[in-house]
Chain A
Amino acid sequence: QSVLTQPPSVSAAPGQKVTISCSGSSSNIGNNYVSWYQQLPGTAPKLLIYENNKRPSGIPDRFSGSKSGTSATLGITGLQTGDEADYYCGTWDGSLSTFGGGTKLTVL
């Protein structure tokens, strides 16, 4: 049971927009930066968003992040079939790093 709560799954059609939520508390999201990771099937996770809303070099601007209070949100616009993956939020929780339970994105 993760301390960061994500919906198990989301889905949308190609070209549409989807958001994935990550809910925590004051000990984690409320007082720390959030990062997001994309895990394509059979591969290692990859950094998608860091410091709440920054994108590493090479990550398209279709991906965005935001944080408000004790929750964070990952947004993906212009969905592509290649975006089908598991997405994880992550942050520091006082004495340990922690990840959300993951959200499976299906592009219908």
Chain B
Amino acid sequence: QVQLQESGPGLVKPSQTLSLTCTVSGVSITSGSYYWSWIRQPAGKGLEWIGRSDTSGSTNYNPALKSRVTISVDTSKNQFSLNLSSVTAADTAVYYCAGVYFYDAYGDYLEYFQYWGQGTLVTVSS
């Protein structure tokens, strides 16, 4: 079965860069039907989409975070990564990686977050 697993530091200092990796198993990350996405959830709050990448390097980011976000894919390792720069306490959250199935043809666009990692808590604090 398909599994996604987040990894990275659980504590990041303010103004530094948050870096997380998602390792995908059970499906090739080069499958043409998926975007690879990051979502975060502050404690007690809802889901916030951070952005996505396909394996060609085409990316889309949440405008609210765009200036600080980079998402990249490493096909050789079947992994994708998130970098979020200049973090503050407001970036403290559980970060999820996800595989997003999509279909885009003939003016019809479909997407849904099919696979999710278990999530990893990142705290921004000195």
Contacts and interface: CB of A to CB of B under 8 A. Distances in A.
A102 B118 contact: no
Interface in A48-78: 50-51, 56
Contacts of A43: 118
B46 A2 contact: yes
A88 B112 contact: no
B49 A96 contact: yes
5 contacts: A33-B110, A35-B111, A44-B119, A45-B116, A97-B52
A56 B115 CA distance: 11
Contacts of A47: 112-114, 116
Contacts, number: 64
Contact of B60 (A51, A90, A95, A101): A95
Nearest to A4: B46
Interface residues on A, range: 20 to 34
Interface residues on B, range: 20 to 34
Main secondary structure of the interface of B (DSSP, over half): strand
Contacts of B53: none
A44 B109 contact: no
Interface in B64-91: none
A44 B117 CA distance: 7
B116 A35 contact: no
Contacts of A35: 111-113
Identify which of B47, B49, B100 gathers the most chain A CB atoms within 10 Å of its CB: B47
By Cβ-Cβ distance, the 7 closest A-B pairs, closest first, are: A50-B112, A35-B112, A99-B47, A102-B46, A97-B49, A44-B116, A101-B46
Contact of A97 (B46, B111, B114): B111
Contacts of A2: 46
